[in-house]
């Protein structure tokens, strides 16, 4: 579980996050939505330890983030960020192996090779293992990074939760891979010790896959909870200045938003 | 399984064999040609007094062999420093000569030449390497911090190169001033420094540069993984548990020691650190562990060849080796610039 307590982040005079408190439960698909500039990425940065907040605390299952070293964090928490560009050509296997760096000194062991292979097979990129990363398409690159990030926390550790944070992971994916990726994430969530937090733009995708949704607006929490509570006409109008038609299917409990 | 580690193994023996061959060729040819029989005869008499050796054997033991070995260790030092710099700055066109390390080291060394004699500053055999290291560290740190973007903390290539040009100009004008006020023999040795020359190589330089390059290689090998992670950017490296600040300072320290000690003995030799990692990347890829070990070997090979060219082209006179490496290196640099589309 990740607990965020009274987080405030400022950049100069501008308040990016204003006294935010929330909780992300393990075993659930926690999705963060909100308009541009709402503070979604900033919140992920604070939780991942990349950005120090002006005030407030983040707790990883009761342990204060400040008390965890970069090395300790890197063995249990993986982050996928937006737009990663590689400075030098590298083959795909080597790139995915970077995910295992926190786990070995010197050369990778059989354990690490197993993790990378399994993670790569899981995201259907094992066939690309020998290809040069630079020659991949945007979507292929994205899937390679999924494999890398997941290989970092591939093996469950007893009594030790794992944390996966995704900042707009779907950017370069077509609708097929978006759904495939979300289904795979849902599969991974069978592990009750895994905490998944993802920032998504597509409200319908959030409605389809999110167990809990956090709606941010101007650095504050506008709504949080299950999709019926968050994706209401009032909330969407307030955050996005667009009025949605919300179609709810009582039988399948699915929820769709349309805009005109 | 095993797919990962076997990728690079095959290239090391090839490089090693080529290194031995180029070194033997480099020893053999020169103003006097030394036969393999002479080499063998000299090697059996290593521990005897020099008076008992004939001229060819003495040339081999006291001139050619230390010079060839200096070539190897200097080439290794400069090439490894190129690998480290490129990984640290996340850019394939960075080179110790371009970002001020060499000119800083040259200034430190010139200061020692000119002022050391005047003020009787002398702390044993390490004075020259220490003076060069101090100068190299100063100039590198200035470039490193000035080229940092105030907002994002990222370095743009243009900003980096321009800062490097400015700092290079500053330090080289310092060297120029020193050679202007220096007495004639001092001025001459400073000039040689700027062009790079291996003619002063002896056993003492072999031992000091060899020690520093071996220690720095072992030190740097511990960080190749971190440098690989840095390829994806500072943020991603942080997520993989890399302490960025500590890594940056450590790598700069290793670099300064590698480049400054080599520069202290042989002067400014440019472009070795640029070409060698680039050639290796073409053969296998960019894993920094492979690049570091491979560069140590290929750097020695290329500098031995450059030294051979420097000695043979204008025989019996000798060309400064820095001129040879620049003639080869500048076109490679320009091709790299064009290929990567860095337009100014």
Looking up tokens 């409200």 gives A203
Q: Which of A170, A232, A176 is closest to A207 using CA atoms?
A: A232
Using one digit for the tens of pLDDT, what is the confidence trace for B303-326? 999 999 988 888 778 888 888 888
**pLDDT over 90 for what percent of chain A?**
60
Q: How many angstroms separate the CA atoms of B107 and B282, rounded?
A: 35
Please determine, for residue A104, whether its predicted confidence score (pLDDT) is greater than 80.
Answer: yes
What mean pLDDT is reported for chain B?
83
CATH label of the domain that carries residue A206: 3.40.50.300
What mean pLDDT is reported for chain A?
90
Nearest CA to CA, how far is A47 from chain B (Å)?
A: 12
Q: Residue A42 falls within a domain, yes or no?
A: yes
Q: Once rounded to an integer, what is the mean pLDDT over residues A205-210?
A: 91
Residue A19's domain spans which residues?
1-68+159-169+195-260
Enumerate the residues of chain B whose CB falls inside 8 A of the CB of residue A129: 3
Task: Give pLDDT, residue B6.
Answer: 63
Q: Once rounded to an integer, what is the mean pLDDT over residues A10-30?
A: 91
Q: Of chain B residues 166-225, which have a CB less than 8 A from chain A?
A: 225
What count of CB pairs under 8 Å joins A to B? 81
Enumerate the residues of chain A whose CB falls inside 8 A of the CB of residue B291: none
Report residue A23's pLDDT band, with 50, 70 and 90 as the boundaries. Answer: very high
Residue of B240, B243, B278 to mutate, interface with A, max A Cβ within 10 Å: B240
Check A70 against B241: CB less than 8 A apart.
yes
Please determine, for residue A255, whether its predicted confidence score (pLDDT) is greater than 90.
Answer: no
Report residue B124's pLDDT band, with 50, 70 and 90 as the boundaries. Answer: low
**What domains, with CATH codes, occur in chain B?**
6-339 (1.10.3470.10)
The residue that leads in pLDDT, B196 or A123, is: A123
Using one digit for the tens of pLDDT, what is the confidence trace for B168-185? 899 989 988 888 887 777
Q: Residue A45 falls within a domain, yes or no?
A: yes
From the list A69, A98, A108, the residue facing B229 with the nearest CB is: A98
Enumerate the residues of chain A whose CB falls inside 8 A of the CB of residue B4: 93-94, 97, 108, 113
Enumerate the residues of chain A whose CB falls inside 8 A of the CB of residue B92: 87-88
Enumerate the residues of chain A whose CB falls inside 8 A of the CB of residue B286: 88-90
Using one digit for the tens of pLDDT, what is the confidence trace for A176-197? 999 999 999 999 999 888 999 9
SS3 of residue B5 by DSSP:
coil
Q: Once rounded to an integer, what is the mean pLDDT over residues B33-40?
A: 82
Check A94 against B233: CB less than 8 A apart.
no
Nearest CA to CA, how far is A207 from chain B (Å)?
A: 29
Using one digit for the tens of pLDDT, what is the confidence trace for A88-98? 888 899 899 99
Report residue B343's pLDDT band, with 50, 70 and 90 as the boundaries. Answer: very low
Q: Residue A186 falls within a domain, yes or no?
A: no
Using one digit for the tens of pLDDT, what is the confidence trace for B220-242? 999 999 999 988 888 889 999 89
Report residue A11's pLDDT band, with 50, 70 and 90 as the boundaries. Answer: confident
Check A98 against B242: CB less than 8 A apart.
no
**pLDDT over 70 for what percent of chain B?**
91
Q: How many angstroms separate the CA atoms of B116 and B122, rounded?
A: 7
CA distances from B192 to A240, B43, B106, B321 (A): 69, 32, 11, 10
Nearest CA to CA, how far is B81 from chain A (Å)?
A: 17
Q: Residue A56 falls within a domain, yes or no?
A: yes
Check A87 against B92: CB less than 8 A apart.
yes
Using one digit for the tens of pLDDT, what is the confidence trace for B246-299? 888 898 889 888 988 888 888 888 888 888 998 888 877 788 888 999 999 999
From the list B86, B243, B286, the residue facing A70 with the nearest CB is: B243
Enumerate the residues of chain A whose CB falls inside 8 A of the CB of residue B228: 90, 94, 98, 101
Q: Residue A127 falls within a domain, yes or no?
A: no
- In chain B, the residue whose alpha carbon lies closest to the alpha carbon of A12 is B151
Enumerate the residues of chain B whose CB falls inside 8 A of the CB of residue A113: 1-4
Nearest CA to CA, how far is A90 from chain B (Å)?
A: 6
Q: Is residue B152 less than 8 Å (CB to CB) from chain A? A: no
From the list B232, B240, B287, the residue facing A74 with the nearest CB is: B240
Using one digit for the tens of pLDDT, what is the confidence trace for A134-149? 888 888 999 999 999 9
The tokens for B15 are: 């490089």
Enumerate the residues of chain B whose CB falls inside 8 A of the CB of residue A167: none
SS (H, E, C) chain A: CEEEEEEEEEECCEEEEEEEEEEECCCCEEEEECCCCCCHHHHHHHHHCCCCCCEEEEEECCEEHHHCCHHHHHCCEEEECCCCCCCCCCEHHHHHHHHHHHHCCCCCCHHHHHHHHHHHHHCCCHHHCCCEHHHCCHHHHHHHHHHHHHHHCCCCECCECEEEEEECCCCCCCHHHHHHHHHHHHHHCCCCCEEEEEECCCHHHHHHHCCEEEEEECCEEEEEECHHHHCCHHHHHHHHCCCEEEEECCCCCCEEEEEC
Task: Give pLDDT, residue B19.
Answer: 94
**pLDDT over 70 for what percent of chain A?**
100
Using one digit for the tens of pLDDT, what is the confidence trace for A211-250? 999 999 999 999 999 888 999 999 999 999 998 888 888 7
Beta bridge pairs of residue A38: none
Q: How many angstroms separate the CA atoms of B80 and B98, rounded?
A: 15
**Report for A57-66, B41-50, B89-98: range of highest mean pLDDT:** A57-66
Q: Residue A113 falls within a domain, yes or no?
A: no
Q: Once rounded to an integer, what is the mean pLDDT over residues A168-173?
A: 83
Q: Is residue B287 less than 8 Å (CB to CB) from chain A? A: yes
* A interface with B, Cβ–Cβ below 8 Å: 48-50, 69-75, 77-79, 81, 84-91, 93-94, 97-99, 101-102, 106-108, 110, 113, 129, 152
Q: Once rounded to an integer, what is the mean pLDDT over residues B9-22?
A: 90
Q: Residue A90 falls within a domain, yes or no?
A: no
Nearest CA to CA, how far is A36 from chain B (Å)?
A: 20
Report residue B342's pLDDT band, with 50, 70 and 90 as the boundaries. Answer: very low
Residue of A88, A90, A116, A141 to mutate, interface with B, max B Cβ within 10 Å: A88
Are A45 and A51 in contact by the 8 Å Cβ rule? The answer is: yes
Q: Is residue B31 less than 8 Å (CB to CB) from chain A? A: no
Please determine, for residue B5, whether its predicted confidence score (pLDDT) is greater than 60.
Answer: no
Using one digit for the tens of pLDDT, what is the confidence trace for B84-98? 988 888 888 787 777
The whole-angstrom distance between residue B247's C-alpha and the CA centroid of its chain comes to 21
Report residue A7's pLDDT band, with 50, 70 and 90 as the boundaries. Answer: very high
The tokens for B1 are: 């399984």
Report the number of distinct structural domains present in chain A: 1
Q: Residue A26 falls within a domain, yes or no?
A: yes
Q: Lowest mean pLDDT of A44-48, A122-126, B158-162, name the range.
A: B158-162
Check B231 against A86: CB less than 8 A apart.
yes
Q: Once rounded to an integer, what is the mean pLDDT over residues B152-174?
A: 78
Check A91 against B285: CB less than 8 A apart.
yes
Q: Is the confidence metric ipTM above 0.90 for this complex? A: no
Nearest CA to CA, how far is B242 from chain A (Å)?
A: 7
Please determine, for residue B151, whether its predicted confidence score (pLDDT) is greater than 60.
Answer: no
């Amino acid at each position: 579980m990740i607990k965020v307590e009274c987080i405030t982040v400022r950049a100069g005079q501008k308040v990016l996050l204003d006294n935010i408190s929330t909780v992300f439960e393990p075993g659930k698909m926690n999705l963060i939505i909100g308009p541009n500039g709402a503070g979604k990425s900033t919140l992920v940065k604070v939780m991942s330890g990349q950005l120090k907040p002006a005030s407030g605390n983040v707790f990883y299952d009761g342990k204060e983030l400040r008390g965890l070293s970069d090395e300790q964090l890197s063995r249990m928490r993986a982050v996928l960020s937006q737009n990663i560009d590689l400075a030098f050509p590298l083959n795909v296997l080597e790139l995915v192996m970077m995910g295992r760096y926190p786990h070995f000194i010197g050369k990778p062991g059989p354990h690490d090779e197993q993790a990378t292979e399994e993670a790569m097979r899981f995201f259907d990129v094992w066939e690309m293992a020998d290809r040069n990363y630079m020659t991949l398409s945007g979507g292929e690159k994205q899937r390679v990074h999924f494999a890398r990030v997941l290989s970092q926390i591939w093996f469950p550790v007893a009594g030790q939760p794992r944390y996966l944070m995704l900042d707009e992971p779907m950017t370069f994916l077509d609708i097929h891979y978006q759904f495939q990726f979300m289904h795979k994430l849902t599969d991974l969530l069978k592990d009750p010790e895994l905490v998944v937090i993802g920032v998504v733009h597509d409200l319908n995708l959030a409605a389809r896959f999110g167990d809990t949704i956090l709606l941010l607006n101007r650095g504050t929490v506008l709504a949080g909870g299950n999709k019926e509570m968050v994706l209401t006409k009032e909330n969407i109008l307030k955050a996005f200045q667009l009025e949605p038609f919300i179609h709810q299917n009582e039988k399948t409990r699915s929820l769709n938003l349309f805009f005109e | 399984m095993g797919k990962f580690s076997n990728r690079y193994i095959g290239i090391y023996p090839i490089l090693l064999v080529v290194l031995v061959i180029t070194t033997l060729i480099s020893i053999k040819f020169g103003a006097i040609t030394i036969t393999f029989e002479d080499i063998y005869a000299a090697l059996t008499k290593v521990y005897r007094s020099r008076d008992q050796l004939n001229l060819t054997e003495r040339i081999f033991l006291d001139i050619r062999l230390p010079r060839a070995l200096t070539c190897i260790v200097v080439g290794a030092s400069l090439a490894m420093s190129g690998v480290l710099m490129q990984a640290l700055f996340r850019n394939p066109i960075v080179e110790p000569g371009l970002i001020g390390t060499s000119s800083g080291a040259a200034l430190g060394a010139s200061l020692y030449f000119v002022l050391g004699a005047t003020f009787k500053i002398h702390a044993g055999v390490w004075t020259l390497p220490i003076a060069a290291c101090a100068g190299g560290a100063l100039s590198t740190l200035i470039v490193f911090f000035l080229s940092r973007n105030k907002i994002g903390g990222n370095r743009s290539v243009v900003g980096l190169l321009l800062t490097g040009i400015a700092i290079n100009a500053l330090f080289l004008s310092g060297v120029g001033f020193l050679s202007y006020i220096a007495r004639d023999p001092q001025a001459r040795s400073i000039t040689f420094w700027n062009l790079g020359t291996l003619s002063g190589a002896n056993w003492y330089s072999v031992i000091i540069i060899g020690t520093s390059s071996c220690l720095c290689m072992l030190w740097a090998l511990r960080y190749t993984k971190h440098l690989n992670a840095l390829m994806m950017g500072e943020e991603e490296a942080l997520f993989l548990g890399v302490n960025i600040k500590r890594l940056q300072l450590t790598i700069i320290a290793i670099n300064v020691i590698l480049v400054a000690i080599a520069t202290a003995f042989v002067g400014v030799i440019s472009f070795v650190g640029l070409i060698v990692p680039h050639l290796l990347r073409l053969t296998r890829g960019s894993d920094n562990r492979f690049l570091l070990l491979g560069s140590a070997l290929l750097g020695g090979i290329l500098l031995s060849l450059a030294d051979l060219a420097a000695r043979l082209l204008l025989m019996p006179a000798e060309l400064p080796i820095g001129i040879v490496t620049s003639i080869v290196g500048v076109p490679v640099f320009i091709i790299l610039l064009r290929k990567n589309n860095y337009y100014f």
